[in-house]
Structure 1
Amino acid sequence: MKASASNRQTRESAAKVFPVTEPAELLPFLLKNVTNAGRNSIKSMLSRGQIAVNGKPETAYNYQLQTGQTVTLSKEKVIEAPPLIGLSILHEDEHLLVVVKDAGLLSIASDKETDLTAYRQLTAHVRADGNEFNRIFVVHRLDRDTSGVMMFAKSEEVQQLLQNSWQETVKERTYVALVEGMLKKPEGTISSWLKESKTLKMYSSHYPNDGLHAVTHYKVIQSNRNFSLLEVSLETGRKNQIRVHMEDIGHPIVNDKKYGSKSRAINRLGLHARVLSFVHPKTGALLRFETEIPKMFLNPFREGFTAK
């Protein structure tokens, strides 16, 4: 145990991390924060690749830093974070990561796949400064075939703060869903009690209080006789909630064979987590992240569209 603690101290002393609290150019930021090194020394560190922004080496003096980024100063050349596959970072600070995940990428490992996951890639990302003790922690998940915004914590403390106050902390969690058919009502609410079958499929129970209560609100964005594009907001966050509720009302999500879809109008599941807004568990700031509607979700509403 003593040897492990000693190794950790050695690694931590070898790299210094400075959070960016306001926009600034990189060189002036370093001159202000690195008090034990002169201008020429800092320029040399930049040229040698010892300075990283969010884990990626940066050599430009005038690189424009943004609030929420982290600058790492290492005694050795910074190990560049491996490229992210099916994943991009929207926000990173010392407490959490907000990312957008592509459809087809697992959030965390399953029995069948342990390598290419959002969790594994982001773990490698936060360890790119050479500190093998850096970790990330799962806050919530997206299904493998669902794309969109999700969040990870950088400490167990922040993970617990977010999970224990999720209903109060999350101010907006909005999806877009491409579903089969034209809905009769332009907006509505679906409420049921969800259970999981022996085959791991979620379903709505016919009996009140039998399972986990789930509430989904929807609003039609665009529709024709074959398809509808919906804005969907969650009052609760149950497993497969939107997919079950869309099947319940007779408008399953496109390409969701598990939950009743017969259409393959697009070559992926028609569900995307578009907006995530929450109160930062440490700073108290209200953060909001919004992504574009996937372009292929709009294809069924274009003139001349034919489903394959």
Structure 2
Amino acid sequence: MKKAVFDGSGDEEAPDALAIDASDEEEGGRIVWTVGPDQAGERADKHVTEALADLSVSRSQVQDWIRSGAVTINGQSCKPNGKVAAGDELAVDVPEAEPLESLPEDIPLNVVYEDADVIVIDKPRGMVVHPAVGHASGTVVNALLYHCRDLSGINGTMRPGIVHRIDKDTSGLLMAAKNDLAHASLAEQFKEHSVLRRYYALVYGNVPHAKGTVDAPIGRDKNDRKMFAVTDKGSKRAVTHFAVLERFDDYTLLELRLETGRTHQIRVHMKYIGHPIVGDPMYGGRAGRTLGMQGQALHAGVLGFVHPRTGETLEFSAPLPDDMEQALHSLRTR
């Protein structure tokens, strides 16, 4: 398993444990994984429900899948109260999700750029990107449907126009496609890793290296399936480049560039190298004070891509949220 690779010195200045790719968010299809030793002896319905936590399925729904034969253990049907053993191969044929009726909602959007093909917004922290179980309204999609009324239909009624996403707890730039031509082009750019994405994060501790790369695979956390971790089991390659912008003794401001786009990638990688993000509710732990932050100090500040119709290279930036700016001001003047 690869670890962090650092370049330069501290004195230089610098400008799934399951085989599930949660970043793909597939609504249907087969998901297969192997039961680990820590899960041996669990009830089948409990084990599957926890394994598919990112899909937000209920235990009763999983029980229905088991009874219908959609869940198998080592190729054989099972019962909800059956036990799983270490090494068992679990397979779930996830039914296609019934489309949610995403309704337009008059929710203010901070539009950074818009034309007939694409729209770029500055998403506030706390806003979910698209409707899902527990978040049927108040999402970016609901707001876009009201604002645009002409989003690409490639992703169906739940995610019209959505090409990529950022975490609910992350603020910053997000693009959406307004027609299928734009959607196909932007999706291909993401696939080729040619989209420019720069994030800014305030992390705990003094990062000693001016710049570096964290090349460490990410998969499900074996102890908490709602979280992710660096692991060599059932994981996918994840690469994050970082550079130190400012140091504040016990805090560091970083600029980060994503080479891959795994779920919670920056948050997991920062925790992995011992510098979790300030205010991170999942990976920050009790590393230190939150400096008045109302959430995590992670902001998608720069987004660049090739326009799907004109071929022009576009690049946009968004200022840090107020509480993050105030936290930095406090550190600079203390």
- TM-score, structure 2 as length reference: 0.60
Structure 1 residue 180 corresponds to structure 2 residue 207 = no
- How far does residue 298 in structure 1 lie from its aligned partner after superposition? 3.9
1:177 alignment partner, SS class:
strand
1:137 alignment partner, SS class:
coil
Quote the residue 2:101 is aligned against.
Answer: none
C-alpha deviations, 1:81-106, integer Å up to 9, x for none? 97533x31111112111111000111
- Equivalent positions of 1:25-64 (< 5 A) are none
Measured in 2, the distance between the counterparts of 1:227 and 1:304 equals 8
Structure 1 residue 277 corresponds to structure 2 residue 304 = yes
Measured in 2, the distance between the counterparts of 1:283 and 1:302 equals 40
1:237 alignment partner, SS class:
coil
Measured in 2, the distance between the counterparts of 1:213 and 1:146 equals 22
Quote the residue 2:218 is aligned against.
Answer: 194
**Residues 288 and 246 of structure 1, relative CA distance in 2, 3 Å threshold:** same
- Equivalent positions of 1:106-117 (< 5 A) are 106-117=128-139
1:259 alignment partner, SS class:
coil
- TM-score, structure 1 as length reference: 0.65
Quote the residue 1:26 is aligned against.
Answer: none
Measured in 2, the distance between the counterparts of 1:298 and 1:226 equals 17
- Please identify the structure whose Cα radius of gyration is greater: 1
**Residues 172 and 127 of structure 1, relative CA distance in 2, 3 Å threshold:** closer
- Report which stretch shifted further, 140-149 or 191-200: 191-200
Amino acid at match of 2:204: E
- How far does residue 261 in structure 1 lie from its aligned partner after superposition? 3.3
Q: Which runs of 5+ in 2 are unaligned?
A: 1-103, 151-156
Q: Which runs of 5+ in 1 are unaligned?
A: 1-80, 129-133
Counterpart contact for 1:162–1:169, Cα < 8 Å: no
| Cα root mean square deviation, aligned | 2.7
C-alpha deviations, 1:246-284, integer Å up to 9, x for none? 000111001113113323221211100000010012211
- How far does residue 107 in structure 1 lie from its aligned partner after superposition? 0.6
2:267 alignment partner, SS class:
helix
Measured in 1, the distance between the counterparts of 2:175 and 2:189 equals 15
- How far does residue 140 in structure 1 lie from its aligned partner after superposition? 0.3
- How far does residue 182 in structure 1 lie from its aligned partner after superposition? 0.8
C-alpha deviations, 1:23-73, integer Å up to 9, x for none? xxxxxxxxxxxxxxxxxxxxxxxxxxxxxxxxxxxxxxxxxxxxxxxxxxx
Deviation >6 Å, runs of 4+: 304-307
Counterpart contact for 2:204–2:278, Cα < 8 Å: yes
2:285 alignment partner, SS class:
coil
Quote the residue 2:149 is aligned against.
Answer: 127
Measured in 2, the distance between the counterparts of 1:231 and 1:300 equals 16
